[in-house]
Structure formats: structure tokens, C-alpha cells
Amino acid sequence: MELGAAVLCRYRTVEMRLSLLSQDNLNNLIQVSDF
């Protein structure tokens, strides 16, 4: 059970990082298109 929880926690942190990265990329694209 503990191992599964650790894997799930890691997966969630990776998922959050990916979503943050994608949001940053979208913001950068929007800023570039504004110029």
C-alpha cells in the first residue's frame, strides 16, 4: 500500500509539472503572438 501511494504521489507531481509547463508554454506563445 505504501509503495502504491508513493508511486501515485510521484505520478501526480509529474502530472502537475507537465501541466505547469504546458501552461507556461501557452503563456509564452500568447505573449509572442501579442508582439
pLDDT at 12: 92
pLDDT at 26: 86
DSSP 8-state secondary structure symbol assigned to residue 9? H
d(CA 7, CA 31): 36
pLDDT at 30: 79
C-alpha cell at 3: 509503495
pTM for the full predicted model: 0.53
Helix (H, G, I), strand (E, B) or coil at 35: coil
pLDDT at 13: 92
Domain extents for the chain? Answer: 1-35
C-alpha cell at 26: 501557452
pLDDT at 34: 67
pLDDT at 35: 56
d(CA 10, CA 4): 10
Expressed in angstroms, the distance from the first to the final Cα of the chain is: 51
Interval 1-35: pLDDT, tens: 688 899 999 999 999 888 988 988 888 887 877 65
